[in-house]
Amino acid sequence: MSSLGVEQPPIGGVAAIVGVGNTRYGEDYRNRERPRTARDLAAEAFARAIEDSGLAPADIDGLAVARAPGGVQPDAAFLASLGLAPAWIQPPEVEDPLTVAIEAMAAGKCSTVALLYASDQRSASVKYGGAATASKYYLSYYYYHPWGFSSQGAHWALMTQRHRLLYGSTEEQLGAVAVAQRRHARLNPDAVMQKPLSLDDYLASRYVCRPLHLPDYCMVNDGGVVLILRRAERARGGRQQPVLIAGSASVHVTADAAQLRPQVLDLQYGAIRAAADACFAQARLTRRDVKHLQVYDAFSINVPIALEGVGFCKRGEGLQFVQGGRIEVGGELPCNTSGGMLSESYMHGWNHAVEAVRQLRGQGGKRQVAGADVSLYTIFTSEMSKSLLYRSMP
Partner 1 sequence: MSSDAMSTDSAAQPEKRPPRTLRDDNDRRFWDYCAAGELRMQRCAACAKLAWPPAGNGDACDACGGKDFSWERLSGRGRLLSYCTFERQYYPECPPPWTVILVELDEGPLFISDPEGFAPEEAREGMPLAVAFRSSVDEHGAFHLPVFMPA
Binding residues (CB under 8 A) for partner 1: these are 129-131, 135, 139-140, 142-151, 154, 157-159, 161-162, 165-166, 206-212, 254-256, 258-261, 264-265
Note the helical H segments in 13-136: 25-30, 38-53, 76-82, 97-106
Q: Which of 278, 281, 308, 314 is nearest to 295 (CA)?
A: 308
d(CA 262, CA 270): 8
> Phi, psi (5° rounding) for residue 146?
-60, -25
Select 125 or 135, whichever has its Cβ closest to partner 1.
135
Q: CB of 271: closest distance to partner 1 in angstroms?
A: 15
Min dist CB 179 to partner 1, Å, is 21
Please say which residue, 130 or 365, places its beta carbon nearer to partner 1.
130
Task: Using the minimum distance from each CB to partner 1, give the nearer residue, 214 or 370.
Answer: 214
Shortest reach from residue 205's CB to partner 1, in Å: 11
Q: How many CA atoms lie within 13 A of 138 on its CB side?
A: 18
Q: How far is the CB of 206 from partner 1 (least distance, A)?
A: 7
Distance of CA 279 to the CA centre of its chain: 16
Closer CB to partner 1, residue 239 or residue 261? 261
How far CA 46 is from CA of 49, 81, 89, 197, in Å, comes to 5, 11, 16, 32
- Neighbouring-strand partners of residue 213: 207
Identity of the residue, 150 or 248, whose beta carbon is nearer to partner 1 in the bound complex: 150
Dihedral of CA 207/208/211/214: which sign?
A: negative
- What does R_g of the chain's alpha carbons equal in angstroms? 20
Contacts of 159 (CB under 8 A, 6+ apart): 263, 264, 267, 301, 305
Looking at residue 233, what DSSP letter applies? Answer: G
List 142, 346, 377, 390, catalytic entry = 346
| DSSP structural state of residue 383 | S
Residue 295 CA to residue 51 CA, distance in Å, equals 27
144 is catalytic: no
Q: Least distance in Å: CB of 164 to partner 1?
A: 9
Handedness of CA 267, 149, 252, 226 (dihedral sign): negative
Least distance (Å) from partner 1 to the CB of residue 384?
15
- Identify the three-state secondary structure at position 33: coil
Q: Which is nearer to partner 1, 125 or 288 (CB)?
A: 125
Contacts with 102 (C-beta within 8 Å, 6 or more apart), sequence order: 9, 11, 14, 15, 229, 245, 248
**Cβ nearer to partner 1, comparing 208 with 220:** 208
Q: How far is the CB of 256 from partner 1 (least distance, A)?
A: 7
Name the minimum Å distance from CB 329 to partner 1: 32
* Amino acid code (one letter) for 140: S
Catalytic annotation present for 142: no
| Cβ atoms of residues 120 and 36 within 8 Å | yes
3-class SS of residue 62: strand
Q: Which of 117, 296, 377, 390 is catalytic?
A: 296
d(CA 239, CA 191): 25
> In terms of CB distance, is 10 or 130 closer to partner 1?
130
CB of 280 within 8 A of CB of 392? no
Active site residues per annotation: 296, 346
